[in-house]
Structure 1
């Protein structure tokens, strides 16, 4: 809930900031019209169009990238489950004593991988499970590597070690995926353009006798709402939109190898 609260507060502040910018633009526009009633703002339309276009592009590209990363993280869960399932099945190619050593390690490994993301909000506990999974990776690789070298069968070596390596690689990919986010400068630019656009909108509204509050509210809520969705999707383990249901495939994999 801490992340959700921070995200909500950030977008609420953005919405209030845009409302303040609209009000400032409205007052500045009113003052200009009062002082120079016959003046014309040459080129103002081009500037406004440019700012609005850039804001729209930033929102579109950021949202598209965020949605793409969200979908990629979901796919990685399935890929990890498939990699583990394949590696586990290929243990049948190894000697019986090696199988007896590796099968419990794989079950323990899958449980540790589930725990890494199940307790993601508790960073210390999640990191503990992650370190455990790294330790298990080393043990699995060491035993598998030693086992395939007994008979030195090229086919078995390739099948077993390649699938074991895939299990390790996909874990690293999921780790990197959790760390991949838009640069902070993108959010700064987004917030700045939103405020600038609001100011320009306020100036355009200054020709009205009264403030069109409905349009002001719609604009502020739309931009802040999209921004919240972007922030939420970028953190699918902490926000409202979650990918926890995707982890069921790992739970099912664990049950299948019991």
Structure 2
């Protein structure tokens, strides 16, 4: 691997409240793509506006990070709702960030669902199929960040919609290749993260929670800014990649590879 995108979930505070280390201003210059919370699980108009401005200042690509309508649970709880209502919520959130980005003369690069919504769309055929058809109709150029091999990934490929597959630097994997979903994370071991990143980039392998090796396919490394010590994790990932001669850059939306993963 000679280059990779590094993305992070950003702008996940609300008003005067924030999660994690409140380090967005330090994290954004170190990444290539920002997934900006769009108000339902976190974020608010002013936070979105400020975060887009920071991304533009540092040349970081901007994406929408829509979630369940769940400020109290930070979007990490599954909410039972009709598929069409869920997709309406997603479109609403994407539209909000698109207009705020436009105010900064920034083009929206991608969309990445958040938390429990991400997991729901990775597995629920009705919701995933409706989402893909709607997003492809409304914004066929908008790159979708997905878990490799998930239902949403396959439906996007079938539709001919551009995708980016992610590798999770700060989450554990199970033997199916899925991340181990958790509501709360503790401090992470930076040395282990560095080794994990190098192994994934050089060998396309990751060690699971059961101490088994599985293959991983990805073009972007994800780091969650709400994790304790997130800034140190981002710094470690960037330093590890640079020392390995791997450049950090956002996806090229004209790259035909995005349609064929």
TM range (shorter): under 0.3
Structure index of larger Rg: 1
Q: What TM-score, normalized by structure 2, do the two folds share?
A: 0.24
More strand by share: 2
TM-score, normalisation: structure 1? 0.24
| Greater relative contact order structure (CA < 8 Å, 6+ sep) | 1
User: Which of the two has greater helix per residue?
Assistant: 1
